[in-house]
Structure 1
Amino acid sequence: MLKIKIPGIESIFPGEKTEFTLKHGDIEVAYSLSGSAGETALKTVLRNTGTSSVKIGAMKLLTIEEVNEPIYYNNWQSWFPFKAYWEQPVVKPFVQFADSTGSSLFSATPIPGLLRNDVRPSDYFVATDELVAGFLSCSITHPYFTWNDKEYYIDVWIELFNKAIGAGEEIEIEELLILHGRYLWEMLEAYAERIKEYNGVSFKEFNGIGWCSWYNYFTEIDFKELERNVALLKEIREREAIPYCLVQLDDGYQKDIGDWLETNEKFPSLDEIASMIKEGGFTAGLWLAPFSVSETSEIFSNHKDWLVRGLDGKPKLAYRNWQKNIYALDVTHPEAAEHLYKTMRRLREAGFDYIKIDFLFAGAIPGERLDPSRTPVQAYRTGLKIIREALGSDCFILGCGAPLLPSVGFVDGMRIGADTAPSWRADVMDIGIPSAKLSIRNAFTRSFMHRRLWLNDPDTIILRDCELTTDEKRTFALSVGLLDGMILTSDDMSLVSREGISLLKEALELTGGKPRVFLDGMNGVFAACTKAARKYNVTAFVNLTDTPRHGIKIKDYYREWSGVTPSVTEADLLPRKIWLERVETRARELEKIVEIREDGRQFNYYTEKE
């Protein structure tokens, strides 16, 4: 049974509504707990009852007791993992890596002190096989969870980054939801549905297939190669009836990081780039990192006052990339905010209707801003609001490297894992380093977010001959298809063989359905099903590990939750491969079965009517 302990209060077994108030000096904390079968909600208000302003940093709200491993940890931004741990996550290698490269820790957390104290938080939500605890929004605080694996409890925290609460003022903290007593995957889906409802989420659809320059050309892309690929894509679309609809130019066109409206010597103007793409019959897409400013940019030279500062008054390092120091735009500065708006508006005027905004975590780093009343989370959301208003509701916005929960409602699509790569890269540190294996891992673990918070972007399918084996490419492509995420490819299209085109068509046949993923430790082997895809009902197992799994009992995974009935009972899962069973869809009726277990837990599943 779920057991909660509030600081200073004895353990609570959630049931009917409970309200009480605790005092911490001049700060009064008002708790409101409400519960029902399988669900507990917590609302919290902080009030300053004193006569002077009080600054608030980290605050523990409650403790969830008697939890069992594995614990499923989520990171604050899209590149890092959502995965299972059976003991405390190790953080020292990442800290050492960041220090050795002269970078910051902000890509991993907005609270670097936690990592330096050897504490790895789970951001926004945390899960076990018995419960999911998560916040429904992230508009002021940064909420996180810490796990004691020796005494089996989880602490729930909020970080307010020393926000000042004036005398007599109050702050309503984001609502916490705790779900329990159902299958993990059902609870994750229910949690995402509640976020969608709470925030009134809507998003623009992405229909068809996109092409991106990055994973073939990286920063070496030039206008001639872009133009050549547009012509090849047009030919393939007409010859193969493959619905390519988007061409997105990635990193490599800009004069510098931060100077987005000026192209380098490899490209004509942004207007000419967009016009060429659109003349080919494609939506024109463009990449940029709107909150990032490099040390060699004109903005850094001329407008250092537009940047987030450290306590020393100097621009604060957000991260290192492109062999440069990268700083963060302070959108609470009116001139910086106006610059951001005009930049994004100019991209629309140039003809770009699809914008990929990357390295977004830079906009949420803690530091000194012109408006000290806004937390980093509030500043970040201000920046996203400016971007959305400038681009308009008819522009598709793809987020990447983004703080996840604060981005809900501002983007149409979201990268939900590390960059992929034209190689498997099984042995890299799991800290957002490009890896085909880790990219597809997160496509499974965060698939419950798809079509609830945004459209999931699992990153691009690679079709050409490269370091990926045929099995690895097939595993990636078909996983993207059956999970129904956004589909983009990234190849020099002259290098894509008939086999590559056939693989893309095979992946397309798996799209359009309702995917579900069974999590069982969820780090390397996944069971998934897709109901009513374009041509099939699909049952699948994916083995991302290097260890074969023999005699997997299929019905142990699919009996009660999938709505798809496999015809076989066992499967052998070979390393780095996908196992699929396709059944052509037909008219059928499903009836809902509600089962009440002896322990009182309710399970819902669907079975086909006779």
Structure 2
Amino acid sequence: MTKVDCSEDLSMIQSYQLALEPVQAFDSARVQFISAGRMEGWRATVSVKLPDTAAFFMRNRESLVSSEFGPDVRAQVSCFDGDLNSQGLVILGDTQSHIYVLIGALSAERSLTYFSVHVRQKRLNRVSIWQPDVKAEADVEPIIVLEGNDWRELLKAYAERTREYAKMEPLAVESASRLGYCSWYYTYQNVTESEFTESLAVLREHKEAFPVKYAQIDDGYQSHHGDWLVTNQNWPSSLEQVAGKISGTGFVPGIWAMPLLATTTSELFKEHPDWFIQDPHAEGALIIPGWSPPPEERWVCLDGSHPGAQGYLKHVFSTLYRWGYRYFKLDGLGLSYPDGRRHDPHSTGISCLRECLRIIREATADSIILSCGGPLLPCLGLAEHARISGDTGKFWKAEGVPGLAGLRAMDDWETQDPAMPSLSNALQQSLQSWWRYDRWFRADPDVVMLRDENTNLTEGEARMSGLVAMMTGVVFTSDRLDRMGQERIDLLARVSALRLHDMEPLHLEQRGPLSLFIGRQGQRKALAIFNWSSSSVTYDLANSGLFAGSVQEVLQPWGHLSDLCEIPKRDAILLVELECEPEF
């Protein structure tokens, strides 16, 4: 395995510049050549020597919300000519000779790293690297190159190298999942204090089946985005009083906020517009289109390099900590590092994001921080939990987007968009991050969707949701347990009681979504099987060669199995070996 630091050794990676000449007599008020004659940021190309038959490609996401259609692991790239994009890292390889190469960034202190794999005549032989925020004398984010015969091992090695580079201690192995409640996926932003208090009472009544530790208020309590310490008319109590109610019920108080974002209607923005990132092309703050309904749809982003903004963050989160909150869901981080004018012209979006997370980390002491929606590598070492998918939903395929009065209807093309909230999108995106589980952070796959009311999901699809949470070890729910049937409550009890470890894809050359994962439950070998198709599939245990002893299915649960098992459409099973210790 080889490490290449591009800032010092260009023997394998050659930088280049592309001259950009404006068209003569060009005249437009809407287009400006910001880097004519030079290339912004730092760019390099890598020439990769692979066999002629090499066609394996694995892309990675840093922003969580996928912009690319299709699976992230592709065993057979078939296009004649084109570019394949990835963020943070990329893997190329040959499934016949089992030769794989991983190229990835070791850090994201100032800039994210973007990769483009250039396919020419079906050959994967060149990769472009771009770090847009490496400017002037700033250091390049170091690049590491790993080679091996198993792409799964390369991902695990990369996870360890980046953790070591960030000077993080290895995460302690936890035998139990972290359990919690989040208000969002039942009432969304329409949650009221009375409804939330009622949910706490229900959770306490069902604590034997689902022993919740954290109870987290989500979006809907605040007067405006940005005014995080002030509640609206649906929350007559102060946040300090609400925290007392939560802890008085026996749970650890948690709260949602978008720490770097505010609306133009907020008191924060009205009083301190200079604390926000300024528009590079106009006077005033940079406006970001938000997802909240009017009049909260126009967002602005705090300038993390401004002393006033830094002091504001310290005040908000130290106050929430003093009031008793110990779990912080920090959302909107994917929109929290835009380009623009900052108080410190040498700062970047990523450096400011990290500085703000450091301030919040210090203000909240021993609390759990959940990084939500933001890039993963820049949050390394600054968040205990991290979301690894876009939003889930009560639909298998996207059918609507949460709005003020319910779900907004969607056009047909939108339902296929991998960025849209849906269970299938969230589950597949979560499984693609399997190599990050318990290596960088506690991976949060978003809430489990197990309820049998206020949902369009089948029982099998609910089991798939539960199985992914068992693999990550973070089991939060928004379901109203008092409105669920006993079978679904029993399913929630199984999901929260069983924790899986060291799960990784079983097949190296996978087509379509990852469907078989091998690992362990305790000291016993475990196999998780997902059926993504619209028809049943049969799995032959006797001829699989995976189990030496008797096997029990524990998710459905079917009990003891010995030969063939049929998995219904869009469903999942979990097999655990009982009589023999796993051989590793």
**Which of 530, 544, 551 is the aligned partner of 1:542?**
530
Does residue 508 (structure 1) correspond to residue 496 (structure 2)? The answer is yes
1:153-201 per-position Cα deviation (integer Å, ceiling 9, x unaligned): 3424232437333xxxxx4322212222221212111111111122122
Aligned to 2:9: 31
Aligned to 1:491: 479
Aligned pairs for 1:583-598 within 5 A: 583-584=577-578, 588=581, 590=583
What CA distance in whole angstroms lies between the structure 1 residues aligned with 2:209 and 2:563? 37
**Which of 181, 184, 187 is the aligned partner of 1:211?**
181
What CA distance in whole angstroms lies between the structure 1 residues aligned with 2:316 and 2:11? 45
Q: Does the 8 A contact of 1:554 with 1:569 survive in 2?
A: yes
Q: Does the 8 A contact of 1:353 with 1:396 survive in 2?
A: yes
SS of aligned partner of 1:263? coil
- Letter of the aligned partner of 1:340 in structure 2? L
Report the Cα offset of residue 120 of structure 1.
6.5
Aligned to 1:372: 345
Report the Cα offset of residue 401 of structure 1.
0.6
- Letter of the aligned partner of 1:278 in structure 2? S
Aligned to 1:399: 371
Q: Does the 8 A contact of 1:441 with 1:523 survive in 2?
A: no
Aligned pairs for 1:74-93 within 5 A: 74-80=60-66, 83-85=72-74
Contiguous gaps of at least 5 residues in structure 1:
1-13, 22-28, 35-41, 45-53, 90-117, 166-170, 591-605
Q: Does the 8 A contact of 2:209 with 2:493 survive in 1?
A: no
C-alpha spacing 1:147/1:83, structure 2 compared with 1 (3 Å):
same
Q: Does the 8 A contact of 1:140 with 1:160 survive in 2?
A: no
Aligned pairs for 1:420-459 within 5 A: 420-425=392-397, 428-459=415-446
C-alpha spacing 1:88/1:390, structure 2 compared with 1 (3 Å):
farther
**Which of 100, 115, 131 is the aligned partner of 2:101?**
131
What CA distance in whole angstroms lies between the structure 2 residues aligned with 1:523 and 1:313? 48
Q: Does the 8 A contact of 2:14 with 2:44 survive in 1?
A: no
SS of aligned partner of 1:62? strand
Report the Cα offset of residue 408 of structure 1.
0.5
What CA distance in whole angstroms lies between the structure 1 residues aligned with 2:538 and 2:197? 48
Aligned to 2:386: 414
What CA distance in whole angstroms lies between the structure 2 residues aligned with 1:525 and 1:459? 18
What CA distance in whole angstroms lies between the structure 1 residues aligned with 2:155 and 2:545? 17
What CA distance in whole angstroms lies between the structure 2 residues aligned with 1:43 and 1:197? 27
Report the Cα offset of residue 236 of structure 1.
0.9
Q: Does the 8 A contact of 2:85 with 2:115 survive in 1?
A: yes
Report the Cα offset of residue 484 of structure 1.
3.5
Q: Does the 8 A contact of 2:256 with 2:330 survive in 1?
A: yes
1:102-156 per-position Cα deviation (integer Å, ceiling 9, x unaligned): xxxxxxxxxxxxxxxx976311111234222211111122211101122423424
- Letter of the aligned partner of 2:372 in structure 1? C
Aligned to 2:408: none
C-alpha spacing 1:567/1:211, structure 2 compared with 1 (3 Å):
same
C-alpha spacing 1:263/1:531, structure 2 compared with 1 (3 Å):
same
Report the Cα offset of residue 520 of structure 1.
3.9
Aligned pairs for 1:153-552 within 5 A: 153-161=125-133, 163-165=135-137, 171-202=138-169, 208-237=178-207, 240-267=208-235, 268-311=237-280, 312-323=282-293, 324-392=297-365, 394-425=366-397, 428-465=415-452, 466-481=455-470, 483-518=471-506, 520-521=509-510, 523-533=512-522, 537-546=525-534, 548-549=536-537
What CA distance in whole angstroms lies between the structure 2 residues aligned with 1:504 and 1:329? 39
Q: Does the 8 A contact of 1:163 with 1:375 survive in 2?
A: no
SS of aligned partner of 1:173? coil
Report the Cα offset of residue 84 of structure 1.
2.9
Q: Does the 8 A contact of 2:41 with 2:135 survive in 1?
A: no
What CA distance in whole angstroms lies between the structure 1 residues aligned with 2:339 and 2:143? 23
Q: Does the 8 A contact of 1:212 with 1:247 survive in 2?
A: yes
SS of aligned partner of 2:355? helix
| Deviation larger for 222-231 or 172-181 | 172-181
What CA distance in whole angstroms lies between the structure 2 residues aligned with 1:429 and 1:371? 41
Aligned to 1:49: none
Aligned to 2:117: 147
What CA distance in whole angstroms lies between the structure 2 residues aligned with 1:295 and 1:522? 46
- Letter of the aligned partner of 1:65 in structure 2? V
- Letter of the aligned partner of 1:255 in structure 2? S
- Letter of the aligned partner of 1:371 in structure 2? D
Report the Cα offset of residue 33 of structure 1.
6.4
C-alpha spacing 1:413/1:307, structure 2 compared with 1 (3 Å):
same
TM-score (norm 1): 0.76
What CA distance in whole angstroms lies between the structure 1 residues aligned with 2:14 and 2:495? 44
Report the Cα offset of residue 581 of structure 1.
2.0
Q: Does the 8 A contact of 2:179 with 2:496 survive in 1?
A: no
Q: Does the 8 A contact of 1:512 with 1:532 survive in 2?
A: yes
- Letter of the aligned partner of 1:248 in structure 2? Q
Contiguous gaps of at least 5 residues in structure 2:
16-36, 94-99, 399-413, 553-559
Report the Cα offset of residue 229 of structure 1.
1.2
What CA distance in whole angstroms lies between the structure 2 residues aligned with 1:128 and 1:554? 34
- Letter of the aligned partner of 1:526 in structure 2? S
Aligned pairs for 1:32-111 within 5 A: 57-66=40-49, 68-80=54-66, 83-85=72-74
- Letter of the aligned partner of 1:474 in structure 2? R
Q: CA RMSD in A?
A: 3.3
TM-score (norm 2): 0.80
What CA distance in whole angstroms lies between the structure 1 residues aligned with 2:254 and 2:542? 42
C-alpha spacing 1:57/1:502, structure 2 compared with 1 (3 Å):
same
Q: Does the 8 A contact of 1:484 with 1:514 survive in 2?
A: no
- Letter of the aligned partner of 1:527 in structure 2? L
Q: How many residues align?
A: 511
SS of aligned partner of 2:228? strand
